[in-house]
Amino acid sequence: MVKLLTVLSATLAVVFLLQVYFTSSANQKLEDLQKDYDKLLYVKDSIYAENYPCQIELNRFRIAYEIFSERNPKAADQYGDIISNETE
């Protein structure tokens, strides 16, 4: 009976140590993933910040082209052909 209790106690101690090891390992991996996520989020935000002014300018050109098409459709068609065929 004493041997059985000793074996069970040793087994429980090993299980506890394994649980502590894997828990701390999982927590470390989670912290590493959080750091990677934060870095990626920073890069995404930086790219968005750089891209935003370009998108504004592109939309302004698109609206200007639509207005130009209404005012002078023939010239707008010529301009569209130049953009589509001659500037590739």
In tens, the pLDDT along 21-48 reads 778 777 888 899 999 999 999 999 999 9
DSSP letters spanning the chain: -HHHHHHHHHHHHHHHHHHHHHHHHHHHHHHHHHHHHHHHHHHHHHHHHHHHHHHHHHHHHHHHHHHHHHH-HHHHHHHHHIIIII--
Q: Specify the pTM.
A: 0.50
In tens, the pLDDT along 62-87 reads 999 999 999 999 999 999 889 888 87
